[in-house]
């Protein structure tokens, strides 16, 4: 079948490759790229979904920065979530991975158990957690009261509700665990063996071998974590609807309500682009800083 | 050979694109095939209907849909699913699907809408006015409760037909009254008495947790709308252009709510307690944990089902003082015909039926289910917006009730319709609702004073109003 001539084969393979990828490429262009660029256009328009949009220049952006207290409130809520949730989930995910990186009987079962929550559909998981947070019958309530601590108003105290959503998100740390496990498996045994010969303690082994060699994995999780948690939406939408007293009104929730509850699609597009710029900014900062602490060797 | 392979590949690729881009749910393709069916082949015209779930057990919807087809053999209701109410801000149904369908020019023939949202759709040209269909011999819009029609009227046209209505009234648990040393035959008449009784009915345990509570201002269903209306506030100017969320009457009403929350130890404590409260058989009012509440008439049905021997009574909600007339506010659903609906005329026949005679069939099936499947002794009907239908339901199901408590309660709810107000008709009704809800939270959680909270909300609503009317006037 194959013709002689190296170049020919490769062009042919390229064509075939592209053909195979065509459905995805076209889907991406039509359903992702086009809406994204349209959203830029709409962000300069007043568009209520039902009527023709009209051009209003930078009014949406002006309104956002000067007249919309919820923009700042939701940004604060989201920042709070990102600042606490991302490090915590890295810490918990890595912790579980280290514990499950042992050769003991039935380890696969344990790994499965920890991984399971991250494949539960978010809405179903959230409804389940709503019950865990129940003020009287909730498992968590009874757990803390067992230790003689009064349970906080999980979802009814504006000062605590965000923490509840963070606690809930850690339930899905098993997703990160899988990635850390893969990273741990990539660390050659011989490093540990030579360290053991030199009499290094397990803490030292972790600090000087495991951690540096895991930095690319941690970095990947950090980037993905920040992008993901800036977009926190479903949990709050299902569980609190943004309350109590707007304490769980995250940025994406504000955006969604603006678009579909108050029909300010143009404004929602502007909000979306501002969020994009914010996430982009943090990602660039992260990549810049990563040169200092991520070791790819 | 290779060419053939390439052709096959390209063909498969095109197929897959077709599969992604058609992107329509099965129900859409169903409605398409229906359009193509003409009426000539003897098939009934299918009316695509959103918001009437035939699968809902015990609702009587299925029976009503069948009865409609019997009454109009050449028409058939094709009920399709639509998202229900949002879990938390249970203020409105989720209209995203309807919005998208109207914007895409492929709407259903009939859709359900919360009445206070109708003008929001109508003012943006998303609905068909019903006036052209209304001058039929067997139809009279005046047979519907006046306030329900006002709520779906915008620009002096009617945009939807009201189906049910509700009234918000005071419920009190006589047993709880007796235990607290109050006279069970004397409900509170004024706001002051309401708070005074509430204090007597509230009890805390040793840890300071609420054990029993007399009255929670925003539990059940009252919102600030009730207290604001009672106090003479109106939330929006008569011409619909000025937001009046922060007028003194409403500020005073919100201050009253804050006071009610403070009595029980503050919003945080009460809402933590409220989170525990269940519905159905565990309803705290039924269990005597909540002594008094202002709630919709649907509560009577729930009492009839779970504890028909409950020692309770109803009255019109307490007024700000002795000199104010008692009132209530009413909401409810309606059916509209979106713009560009394919079968608007047939759609009107369907909504005419389901808001009048259809409700009788619905109630009959529902009552049957109640008795036979649930083993309930009593069936309490809903309040129909169509007056003759409401009367018929009353005669059939309530007049002969041998349970005086339930019967009296229903009578109170029924009579309250005569003093019912509706929420302001506004193109920004949704935002008005959201901001009024936000103001309640800000005030009861003490983040802002009642005045500040309502000022902030008012500014948001006014901005939206100005924007809407300037666009509207320039059209």
pLDDT 10s digits, B80-119: 877 764 333 344 567 888 999 999 999 999 999 999 999 9
A241 φ/ψ sector (left φ>0, alpha ψ -120 to 50, else beta)? left
* Number of residues in chain B: 475
Give the whole-angstrom CA distance, residue B50 versus residue B66. Answer: 16
Q: Of all helices (H) and strands (E), which one includes residue A55?
A: strand A54-55
**Is beta strand B45-50 parallel, antiparallel or unpaired with respect to B75-80?**
parallel
pLDDT, one tens digit per residue, over A285-297 is: 999 999 999 888 6
Which residue's structure tokens are 């938390």?
B88
- Per the structure block, which two tokens stand in for A14? 């390229």
Smallest CA–CA distance, residue A268 to chain B, in Å, is 14
The pLDDT assigned to B207 comes to 80
Smallest CA–CA distance, residue A46 to chain B, in Å, is 10
- Per the structure block, which two tokens stand in for B456? 């902030």
Using the beta-carbon criterion (under 8 Å), do A51 and B10 form an inter-chain contact? no
DSSP B214: S
**Rounded to the nearest 5 degrees, what angle is found at the Cα of B146, between the Cα atoms of B143 and B150?**
125
Give the whole-angstrom CA distance, residue A153 versus residue A161. Answer: 8
Q: Cα dihedral sign for B303, B307, B313, B319?
A: negative
Q: A141-155, A169-183, B227-241, B264-278: which range is least confident on average?
A: B264-278
Backbone angles phi, psi at A248, to 5 degrees: -115, 25
Q: Which of B89, B124, B464 sits opposite A241 (nearest CB)?
A: B89
Name the closest residue on chain A to residue B105, using Cα atoms. A50
Using the beta-carbon criterion (under 8 Å), do B88 and A243 form an inter-chain contact? yes
Report, as an integer, the average pLDDT of B151-162: 96
In chain B, which residues have their Cβ closer than 8 Å to the Cβ of A49? 99-100, 103
Give the whole-angstrom CA distance, residue A143 versus residue A150. Answer: 10
- Percentage of residues of chain A with pLDDT beyond 90: 70
Give the whole-angstrom CA distance, residue B212 versus residue B175. Answer: 13
Q: Of all helices (H) and strands (E), which one includes residue B335?
A: strand B333-336
B174 against B272, higher pLDDT: B174
Report, as an integer, the average pLDDT of A11-40: 93
Q: Are B338 and B112 in contact (CB under 8 A)?
A: no
- Per the structure block, which two tokens stand in for B150? 């006002």
Cβ contacts below 8 Å, chain A against chain B, sum to: 99
Give the whole-angstrom CA distance, residue B185 versus residue B190. Answer: 15
3-state secondary structure of B81: coil
Using the beta-carbon criterion (under 8 Å), do A153 and B20 form an inter-chain contact? no
B196 against A8, higher pLDDT: B196
- Per the structure block, which two tokens stand in for A137? 């019958």
Beta bridge partners of B386: B144
3-state DSSP helix/strand/coil % of chain A, to nearest 5: 70, 0, 25
Q: Are B101 and B28 in contact (CB under 8 A)?
A: no
Q: Are B428 and B460 in contact (CB under 8 A)?
A: no
The pLDDT assigned to B214 comes to 95
The pLDDT assigned to A21 comes to 94
Report, as an integer, the average pLDDT of B370-382: 90
Using the beta-carbon criterion (under 8 Å), do A69 and B456 form an inter-chain contact? yes
Smallest CA–CA distance, residue A78 to chain B, in Å, is 19
Q: Are B410 and B300 in contact (CB under 8 A)?
A: yes
The pLDDT assigned to B87 comes to 38
pLDDT, one tens digit per residue, over A93-124 is: 999 999 998 888 889 899 999 999 999 999 89
The pLDDT assigned to B12 comes to 55
Other beta carbons less than 10 A from residue A287's beta carbon: 12
pLDDT, one tens digit per residue, over A223-280 is: 999 999 999 999 999 888 898 899 999 999 999 999 988 999 999 999 999 999 999 9
Using the beta-carbon criterion (under 8 Å), do A50 and B207 form an inter-chain contact? no
- CA nearest to B429, candidates B114, B82, B163: B114
Q: Which of A136, A158, A241 sits opposite B276 (nearest CB)?
A: A136
Using the beta-carbon criterion (under 8 Å), do A49 and B445 form an inter-chain contact? no
Name the closest residue on chain A to residue B472, using Cα atoms. A51
Using the beta-carbon criterion (under 8 Å), do A46 and B471 form an inter-chain contact? yes
pLDDT range class, residue B208, cuts 50, 70, 90: confident
Alpha-helix runs per DSSP H in B157-285:
174-179, 191-201, 223-230, 248-263, 267-276
DSSP B108: -
Smallest CA–CA distance, residue B170 to chain A, in Å, is 25
Q: Of all helices (H) and strands (E), which one includes residue A218?
A: helix A211-230
Residue A156 touches chain B, beta carbons under 8 Å = yes
């Amino acid at each position: 079948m194959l013709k002689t001539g190296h170049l020919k084969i490769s062009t042919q393979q390229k064509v075939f490759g592209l053909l195979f990828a065509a459905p995805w490429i076209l889907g991406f262009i039509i359903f992702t790229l086009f809406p994204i660029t349209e959203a830029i256009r709409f962000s300069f328009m007043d568009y209520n979904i039902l009527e023709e949009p009209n051009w209003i220049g930078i009014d949406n952006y002006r309104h956002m920065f000067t007249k919309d207290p919820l923009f700042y409130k939701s940004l604060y809520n989201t920042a709070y979530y990102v600042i606490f949730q991302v490090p915590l989930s890295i810490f918990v995910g890595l912790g579980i991975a280290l514990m499950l990186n042992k050769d003991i009987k039935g380890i696969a079962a344990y790994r499965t158990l920890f991984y399971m929550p991250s494949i539960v559909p978010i809405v179903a998981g959230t409804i389940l957690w709503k019950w865990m947070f129940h003020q009287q019958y909730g498992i968590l309530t009874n757990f803390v009261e067992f230790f003689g601590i009064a349970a906080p108003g999980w979802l009814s105290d504006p000062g605590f509700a965000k923490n509840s959503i963070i606690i809930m998100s850690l339930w899905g740390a098993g997703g990160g665990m899988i990635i850390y496990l893969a990273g741990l498996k990539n660390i050659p045994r011989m490093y540990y063996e030579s360290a053991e010969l030199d009499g290094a303690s397990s803490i030292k082994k972790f600090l000087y071998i495991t951690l540096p060699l895991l930095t690319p994995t941690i970095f990947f999780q950090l980037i993905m974590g920040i992008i993901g948690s800036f977009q926190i939406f479903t949990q709050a939408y299902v569980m609190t609807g943004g309350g109590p007293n707007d304490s769980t009104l995250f940025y994406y929730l504000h955006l969604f309500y603006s678009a579909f509850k108050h029909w300010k699609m143009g404004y929602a597009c502007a909000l979306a682009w501002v969020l994009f710029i914010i996430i982009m900014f943090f990602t660039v900062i992260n990549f810049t800083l990563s040169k200092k602490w991520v070791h790819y060797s | 050979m290779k060419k053939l392979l390439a052709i096959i590949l390209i063909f498969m690729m095109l197929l897959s694109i077709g599969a992604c881009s058609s992107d329509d749910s099965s129900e859409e393709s169903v409605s398409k095939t229906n359009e193509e069916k003409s009426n000539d082949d003897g098939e009934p015209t299918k009316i695509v209907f959103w918001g009437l779930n035939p699968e809902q057990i015990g609702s009587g919807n299925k029976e009503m849909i069948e009865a409609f087809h019997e009454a109009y053999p050449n028409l058939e209701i094709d009920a399709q699913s639509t998202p229900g109410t949002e879990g938390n801000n249970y203020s409105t149904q989720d209209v995203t699907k309807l919005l998208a369908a109207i914007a895409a020019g492929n709407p259903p023939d009939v859709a359900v809408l919360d009445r206070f949202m109708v003008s929001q759709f109508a003012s943006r040209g998303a609905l068909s006015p019903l006036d052209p269909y209304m001058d039929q011999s067997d139809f009279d819009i005046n047979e519907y409760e006046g306030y329900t029609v006002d709520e779906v009227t915008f620009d002096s046209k009617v945009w939807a037909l009201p189906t049910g209505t509700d009234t918000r009234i005071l419920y009190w648990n006589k047993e709880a009254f007796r235990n607290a040393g109050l006279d069970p035959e004397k409900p509170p008449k004024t706001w002051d008495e309401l708070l005074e009784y509430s204090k007597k009915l509230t009890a805390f345990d040793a840890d300071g947790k609420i054990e029993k509570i007399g009255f929670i201002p925003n539990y059940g269903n009252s919102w600030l709308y009730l207290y604001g209306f009672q106090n003479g506030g109106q939330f929006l100017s008569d011409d619909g252009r000025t937001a009046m969320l922060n007028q003194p009457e409403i500020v005073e009403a919100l201050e009253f709510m804050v006071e009610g929350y403070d009595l029980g130890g503050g919003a945080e404590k009460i809402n933590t307690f409220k989170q525990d409260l269940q519905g159905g058989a565990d309803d705290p009012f039924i269990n005597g944990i909540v002594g008094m509440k202002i709630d919709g008439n649907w509560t009577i049905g729930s009492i009839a089902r779970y504890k028909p021997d409950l020692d309770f009574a109803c009255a019109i909600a307490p007024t700000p003082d002795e000199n104010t007339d008692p009132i209530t506010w009413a909401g409810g659903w309606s059916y509209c015909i979106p713009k560009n609906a394919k079968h608007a005329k047939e759609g009107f026949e369907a909504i005419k039926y389901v808001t009048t005679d259809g409700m009788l069939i619905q109630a009959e099936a529902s009552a049957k289910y109640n008795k036979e499947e649930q083993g309930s002794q009593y069936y309490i009907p809903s309040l129909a917006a169509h007056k003759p239908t409401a009367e018929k339901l009353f005669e059939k199901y309530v007049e002969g009730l041998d349970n005086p408590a339930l019967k009296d309660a229903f009578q109170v709810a029924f009579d309250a319709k005569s003093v019912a107000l509706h929420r302001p008709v506004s193109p920004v009704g949704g935002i008005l609702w959201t901001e009024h809800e936000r103001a309640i939270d800000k005030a009861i959680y003490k983040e802002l004073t009642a005045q500040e909270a309502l000022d902030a909300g008012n500014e948001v609503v006014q901005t939206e109003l100005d924007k809407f009317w300037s666009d509207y006037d320039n059209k």
